[in-house]
Amino acid sequence: MANITRRRTGEFLRKLFEALIAEPEGMAAGAVMKAVRTSIPLTAFEKGQYPSGGERFEKILRFATVDCVKAGWLHKSNGVWSVTDIGQKAYKTYVDPEAFYKEACRLYGAWKAQRDASEVLPGEAAEPEAIEEAAEKLSVTVEAALDHAWTEISQFLHSSDPFEFQEMVADLLRGMGYHVSWVSPPGKDNGVDVIAFADPLATVGPRIKVQVKRWQSKVDSDGLKSFLATLSPGDVGIYICLAGFTKDAQDYARNQETRRVTLIDARRFFDLWVENYSKLADQARRRLPIVPVYFLAPAS
């Protein structure tokens, strides 16, 4: 019976790490899976489906990443995967694919032993048959569901009308308890799309200026500087860009001493939307309707 060896699993993992290391801010799980799939020729067996459903390659790789997470090499958050500094060091140290995977398994075993206060055999890695059995039992994993859900949400946000998204931002601020005094009409906005205050009469707290972008590319430090130039003394700035911000822009915002600015990407915007969903007006909810779905959490 054919199966996927430890060495082959290690090859998959190293290709995954290679793709993620090239993207320091991380990649969506589905995107990195696709990158690995296109970077390494798969056999007919690896492309095949389990009797219970699901591609063998993807389930094997997802199963193997559990060891890397527990080893501290891989970080997963809301469907986005990234390699840690320790993971980058391991990638350089354990060049042999089988040794790379075995070390991840060893570290996972050490983590599990500490959690369970039990002994562990160093260097033990799952046998290919065990990998096959465990991977096949992974039906719709939580992370796969999160990845699929986020892909749909992200596509919806990026394809929304610019002024509709601008209204969504204003709706969110209202749901958070702020009082929106102005939303830019279609046309030139001079760098500010929404203005809000902490109270209805604008007598308490700073004025909040918001710039909203649905760009497919990240805002760089020059773009951020242009927005900061619109802030008067005492103003607070919020820059929302679905694509996010370059590292230089993030560093520049973090180092501001006199001008306060908050950067919000698509993930952060959606998290705030979920957090405040119960406080949003019905019209706002219709702009981005969501519903909670519950899964049985995987054993840790």
pLDDT in tens, 272-293: 999 999 999 999 999 999 998 8
Domain 160-286 in CATH 3.40.50.2300? The answer is no
Instruction: For residue 284, give Cα distances in angstroms to 10, 267, 278.
Output: 47, 18, 11
- Assessment of whether the complete model's pTM goes beyond 0.85: no
Mean pLDDT calculated for residue range 199-214: 91
Q: What is the pLDDT of residue 101?
A: 95
3-class DSSP state for residue 293?
coil
> For residue 140, what pLDDT is reported?
46
Q: What integer pLDDT is reported at residue 30 of this predicted model? A: 86
pLDDT higher than 90, residue 297: no
Among 116-125, 139-148, 158-167, 215-224, which stretch is predicted with the lowest mean pLDDT? Answer: 116-125
- What mean pLDDT do residues 167-189 have? 92
**For residue 20, what are its two tokens?**
């993620």
Q: Which spans in 40-160 are helix H?
A: 44-47, 56-70, 85-93, 97-116, 128-137, 142-159
Please tell me the predicted confidence (pLDDT) of residue 139: 46
Question: What are the sequence ranges of the domains in the chain?
Answer: 6-154, 160-286
CB crowding 200-232: b at 16 or more within 10 Å, else e: eeeeeeebbbbbbbbeeebbebebbeebbeebe
Cα 241 from Cα 99, distance rounded (Å): 41
Please write the tens of the pLDDT for every residue from 109-140. Answer: 888 877 776 544 444 555 555 555 555 455 44
Whether residue 181 has pLDDT greater than 60: yes
Q: What span, in angstroms and rounded, lies between the C-alpha atoms of 24 and 22?
A: 6
pLDDT of residue 51: 76
50, amino acid identity: Y
